[in-house]
């Protein structure tokens, strides 16, 4: 039985001529062959760049052999009602052998907006063994289809797209809530759910946060109360004493760099995801309650794209967190920022958790 893999150049056709619908996001699915019972679970991540440019990554595993995989960085441009992607470089490959190779070619997709589905046909160039042929792709994307705001205390049916959807209360996926495209619940405050798809899952399957706002309940970003007037200490504290009051959560004001796990960003941008608000609100409240404390925010990126651009992006992400805290009432001079680019990943790339910030206390002046 021959062993053959693939990598792709993609031509993505949007729904209808002239429609500028975006296909940005994480798509999960599979490639199959029409004449053989082989399949390749896949994740396609797309992100718009400047102007008409776009970029992303394509990850694929061999069916029933998750240890055999490939990841390619891809980029391209949108022209009218279509987008064309080309592979830039191989980011990672596992489990290959001298008998295996990856086929190159093109993929043409049609987009079903109602189902958030991509259906594609691949045509490959001849490979070393002259056995690269065609393949069929099916991808689905999780996207909120019901109203983003519900009435406080009312039973609401939350509806999303996707295949074999699983709902969780936490990013670590330890608190399952429901399965299926609809989840009925009563909310009294803004809530973020974390969703996955069971349709051909892979090691790179995305966890998708969906935030539901509540009308008449607690908002995602409540107004931070003014800082209380500090009570003078009975004796001067040593210069290196920066312990927060007992009422302040220790994790909000760490003495050493600590990852803020829910403060994440959209791929390729300094735009905060909705999941960031609760943690940053808590951090702002703690800083306002302890005006003697200063903080350093450290930005990071995933290992996608050029190192120089990633360095700038990491600095922009740290600056975005600082801007959030300043808007909440924290003095700008109390928050320092620095970016480390893609030099300190925590997980094998690509992984959304590498697009993160860390926070640490700074010593007093």
Tell me the three state secondary structure of residue 289. helix
pLDDT at 9 over 50: no
Domain boundaries, the chain: 5-140, 149-215, 250-362
The CATH code that applies to domain 149-215 is: 2.60.40.10
User: What is the CATH class of 5-140?
Assistant: mainly beta
β-sheet bridge partners, residue 246: none
44-48, 171-175, 242-246, 269-273: the lowest-pLDDT one: 242-246
Mean pLDDT of 248-259: 51
Q: Quick: pLDDT tens for 159-172.
A: 999 999 999 998 78
Q: Return the pLDDT at 250.
A: 33
The answer to pTM > 0.85 is no
d(CA 141, CA 197): 9
For residue 140, the model assigns a pLDDT of: 96
> Residue 11 CB: number of other CB atoms within 10 A?
17
Q: Which of 80-84, 200-204, 307-311, 319-323 shows the lowest mean pLDDT across its residues?
A: 80-84
Q: Which CATH superfamily is domain 250-362 in?
A: OmpA-like domain (3.30.1330.60)
CA-based R_g, the chain, Å: 23
Answer yes or no: are the C-beta atoms of 14 and 81 closer than 8 Å.
yes
Query: In this structure, what are the phi and psi dihedrals at residue 118, rounded to the nearest 5 degrees?
Result: -110, 125
Give dist(CA 262, CA 279) in Å, integer: 7
pLDDT at 276 exceeding the cut of 50? yes
Q: What is the share, in percent, of the chain residues with pLDDT greater than 70?
A: 75
- Which of 123-132, 233-242, 250-259 comes out lowest in average pLDDT? 233-242
Q: How far is residue 268's CA from residue 313's CA, in Å, rounded to a whole number?
A: 8
| The predicted structure's pLDDT at residue 144 | 95
β-pairing, 9-13 with 105-112? parallel
Section 208-226 average pLDDT: 67
- Please return the burial class of 26, using the count of CB atoms within 10 Å of its CB with bins 0-12, 13-18 and 19+: buried
CA angle 46, 47, 52 (to 5 degrees): 115
Tens digits of residue pLDDT in 165-210: 999 998 788 999 999 999 999 999 999 999 999 999 998 888 888 9
Omega before 124 within 30 of 0, i.e. cis: no
97/39: higher pLDDT: 39
For the segment 234-243, the average pLDDT, to the nearest whole number, is 34
Q: Give pLDDT, residue 212.
A: 92
* 112 pLDDT above the threshold of 50: yes
Q: Which residue has the tokens 């891809």?
A: 74
Task: Name the helix (H) or strand (E) containing 202.
Answer: none
């Amino acid at each position: 039985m021959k062993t053959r893999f693939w990598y792709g150049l993609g031509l993505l056709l949007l729904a209808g001529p002239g429609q500028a619908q975006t296909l940005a996001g994480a798509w999960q699915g599979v490639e199959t062959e029409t004449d053989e019972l082989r399949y390749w679970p896949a994740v396609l991540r797309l992100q718009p760049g400047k102007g008409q440019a776009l970029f992303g990554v394509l990850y694929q595993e061999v069916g029933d052999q998750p240890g055999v995989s490939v990841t390619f960085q891809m980029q391209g441009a949108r022209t009218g009602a279509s987008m064309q992607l080309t592979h830039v470089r191989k980011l990672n490959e596992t489990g290959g052998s001298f008998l295996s190779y990856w086929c190159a070619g093109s993929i043409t997709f049609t987009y079903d907006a109602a189902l958030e589905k991509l259906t594609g046909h691949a045509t490959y160039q001849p490979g070393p063994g002259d056995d690269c042929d065609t393949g069929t792709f099916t991808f689905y994307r999780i996207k909120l289809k019901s109203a983003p705001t519900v009435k406080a205390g009312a039973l609401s049916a939350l509806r999303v797209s996707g295949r074999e959807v699983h709902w969780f209360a936490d990013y670590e996926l330890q608190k399952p809530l429901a399965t299926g495209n609809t989840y009925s619940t009563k909310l009294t405050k803004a809530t973020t759910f974390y969703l996955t798809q069971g349709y051909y899952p892979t090691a790179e399957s995305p966890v998708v946060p969906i935030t539901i706002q509540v009308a008449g309940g607690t908002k995602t970003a409540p107004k931070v109360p003014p800082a209380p007037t500090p009570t003078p200490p009975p004796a001067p504290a040593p210069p290196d004493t920066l312990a927060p009051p007992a009422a302040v959560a220790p994790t909000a004001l760490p003495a050493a760099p600590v990852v803020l796990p829910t403060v994440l960003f959209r791929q390729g941008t300094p735009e905060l995801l909705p999941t960031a608000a609760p943690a940053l609100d808590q951090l702002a409240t703690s800083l306002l309650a302890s005006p003697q404390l200063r903080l350093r925010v450290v930005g990071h990126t995933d290992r996608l794209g050029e190192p120089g651009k990633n360095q700038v992006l990491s600095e922009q992400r740290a600056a975005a967190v600082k801007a959030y805290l300043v808007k909440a009432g924290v003095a700008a001079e109390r928050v320092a920022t620095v970016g480390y680019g893609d030099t300190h990943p925590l997980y094998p790339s690509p992984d959304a958790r590498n697009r993160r910030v860390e926070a640490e206390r700074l010593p007093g002046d």
